[in-house]
Structure 1
Amino acid sequence: MRKIVDPPAPPPAVRLVVVGTEHEGQRLDNFLLRVCKGVPKSHVYKAIRDGQVRVNKGRSRADVRLASGDSVRIPPLRLPAPGAAAPVPPADFPVLYEDAHLLVIDKPAGVAVHGGSGVSFGVIEQLRAARPAERLLELAHRLDRETSGVLMVARSRKALVALHDMMRESRGRKHYLALVVGDWVNDRQHIRLPLLKYLTPDGERRVRVDALGKPAHTIVTLQRRYAGRYSLVGAELRTGRTHQIRVHLAAQGHPIAGDEKYGPDAVRAALAAQGFRRMFLHAHRLEIPHPVSGEPLVFESPLPPACRALLDQLEHARP
């Protein structure tokens, strides 16, 4: 019997891709990650650094903004076979608002907003897998993996550029709820402490208060005290630095309950024994103009059941 052997797959080849209007203003690295689905990020960035990726025949940086009509040379990166099953499981998330330019969802805790840093996929990749007909789905801002609540996704290039401008200029009002360790004293407090990003010896990203850091401003309001053990506070971001609320609250001596980076292990273990296994930080309200029409918008996400259950336990606990 003759053995039938399938011919080997052709090696990947150089591609020239013309940037469409829907990708006007997008960063080169984000454009490549979208076009080269399935290719590891490290391979994409290495190709850019080595000059294998060209924009209009010239070398380019990862952060360069593309224009409609630009020609992008993509080197032979090994891509998934056509028709292969998508490596990312599609997922739907509770929708708080949706129109032609904007999608606002209620992100659960424990899910990263995007892949990378040891996470193979996140919310945005799962949304793209669940909505394959969408021409564009891009994060307008970010939430930490363990933070739940309001998350905006742009559905048009015009909306994405406008939303990024709003976030950069701190337009709009972002309100969070956090349960902190200890008895918060002030009814309303402005925290203005500069924040600096750094890497731990094992390569983990962290943030600390440092005079060399970037300015950061958080407004904290007391919501309720729980027998001197915990306090529920509201936190409004006036700037949008990495881990800003977490580090600002910890710097006041009141870390967020369940925070594995900036909070005490003993508190996290005690809460886990009560059945609470997350960080108590929730993006519960966002006020922002519509990125295209300018219409005032307000999005709200209620506290998740796990957070409500913990507050109920604390409410009825003996002093």
Structure 2
Amino acid sequence: MQSTTVHRGAATRPVQQHPNTTLWSILTIEPERKGVGDDIIRHIVAPLSSQVRAGEGYRFRLSRNLESGHQTVLLHLLATDDVAKRLWKFANALAEENAATLGTVKTFHSPGLVYPPRPGEPVPEVVESAFARFGGPKGLDLAAEIGEVAMDMALWAVNRFPSLNTRSMLAALILFDTGHAMMRGPRSAVWPDRRTTSWDYYWNAHLHACTGSFGPHAAQARNAMRARIAPRIVPAHRMMVALASEPAVDIWRKRWARSMDEYLYRADKQRVSRSAQHLAMGASQHAVNGLGFTLREQAVLGLYASAWSKEIEAQYAGEERSSQPAKH
């Protein structure tokens, strides 16, 4: 079994680059075998991420196409051309080395686009789209930073929680922590937009965002989803509190909440032209996508998260402690 590399063209043909020019490129890793998305992260993404050293000004994050059975993984890299070539070559070597686990893997890498775009030159469509989504160049830079935190969390989570069922409870906690950090984070009062959104409004918007592809019957589907999930909320919450009691989970939740608070604080200071809710929701969707969950699945996890609170967490944690036998 082998990996195959294909050079895929871009909408805008890149010009000749100086070796020190920073480029934005994407590597798509497409397995023929189903259900190996987590293994790609373990055996290819993790070693690659260790090669991109902090402090060099590079950015490296992942996203996953979970809608097909093959679970394609996309790696987004902002680095010089020589670094990109070295990493993509390493990715193919890792795919070959782990063929017994991954099966046949195809890799496609886009030609690098100069980033940031040079003054006076047309901005490629893919970059324009990213600017529109994240609120301009400054917004994209900030999104890339929190995207790296999300990737680090995914690298940890796929190993710590191989079971998607258990990992889904972590995802629900992360969704909750995102909303709570946006509205009640240490710096939330600095940007009024973070405090004016109500809890119910935020989660209703989250549900709509996750079910936007449902078509003309989306409202009926959402109501049916709420009714179906309602009896599962309490059992899910008990699993969430059990997971939350793990020290490593607590560390990652706090890191994510701090990162979200800082992300929104800096977005406000740099006048990023998107609402706090839009930015928070986009970052959390990206993070939970990295954990392995589709938007449809995120809609369900959001229902668990919306019914969660710090008070419920403390209550469940207290019940769990009181049920444990006393130590003598």
Structure with the bigger percentage of helix? 2
User: What is the TM-score normalised by the length of structure 2?
Assistant: 0.24
User: What is the TM-score normalised by the length of structure 1?
Assistant: 0.25
**Based on CA coordinates, which of the two structures has the bigger radius of gyration?**
1
Structure with the bigger percentage of strand? 1
Q: Which has the higher contact order (CA 8 A, sep 6+)?
A: 2
